[in-house]
Every structure is written in C-alpha cells, then in structure tokens.
C-alpha cells in the first residue's frame, strides 16, 4: 500500500474537500484533514478522468478541481449516487449550455 502525503495546508485541504463535494465525490466533513475519505474521493475523481490516483496531494490538484468547478457545475439531482442510475448519466451546466455525460 502506498504512503499518502499532502503538500496542502489545512485551508487548502478544506477547499479541496469543498470542490470534491460540489462535484459529488466527497461526503465527509470539511475539516482540512487529508484522511482516508479525502484520499478515496481524490482517487475516484482522478480515475474518472483517466488519470492515475496521486500519492501526494499538490496545489495542482486543488487548482484543477477549482478550475473544473469554475467551468461548470454538476446539478444536485445529477450527482453520482443521487439517483437510481447512480451517476450513469450526469448533466453538467457549462458556460456553453448543458452537457450530458454518460458512464463514468
């Protein structure tokens, strides 16, 4: 099992947790602790984008998450785990309109 490290401050981890939560990946407390729930959320977020899960949290991960949020928001009812499809189909609202994402 790899060793996980974080180069983020507690405040940055809180921002990361909020961003992961807004995208439907994190459901724990926004406490600034880069614990197992935060790590599994980051891993799922990375995996869904075709990336390898990081073993070190960096500012680049936080920046990428916040940029993703700035580009579009996942509607509450369309977040993974919020309906019968469990994220099989998600609608993402972007500046260009609504985009349908099928699968994970």
Number of C-beta neighbours around residue 59 at 10 A: 12
**Directed axis angle between helix 36-48 and helix 10-22, to 10°?**
50
Distances (CA, A) of 66 to 50, 77, 78, 83, 86: 18, 21, 19, 25, 23
Name the residue among 54, 46, 5 with its Cα closest to residue 23. 46
The pLDDT of 40-46, averaged and rounded, is 95
Q: What is the pTM of this model?
A: 0.68
Give the other-Cβ count within 10 Å of 6's Cβ: 19
Q: Domain limits of the chain?
A: 5-102
Better pLDDT: 86 or 10: 10
């Amino acid at each position: 099992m790899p060793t996980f490290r974080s180069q983020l401050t507690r405040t940055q981890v809180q921002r990361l947790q909020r961003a992961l939560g807004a995208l439907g990946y994190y459901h724990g407390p926004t406490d600034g602790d880069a614990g197992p729930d935060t790590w599994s959320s980051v891993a799922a977020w990375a995996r869904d984008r075709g990336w390898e899960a990081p073993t070190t949290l960096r500012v680049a991960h936080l920046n990428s998450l916040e940029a993703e949020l700035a580009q579009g928001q996942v509607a509450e009812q369309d977040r993974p785990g919020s309906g019968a499809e469990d994220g099989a189909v998600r609608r993402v609202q972007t500046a260009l309109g609504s985009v349908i994402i099928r699968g994970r």
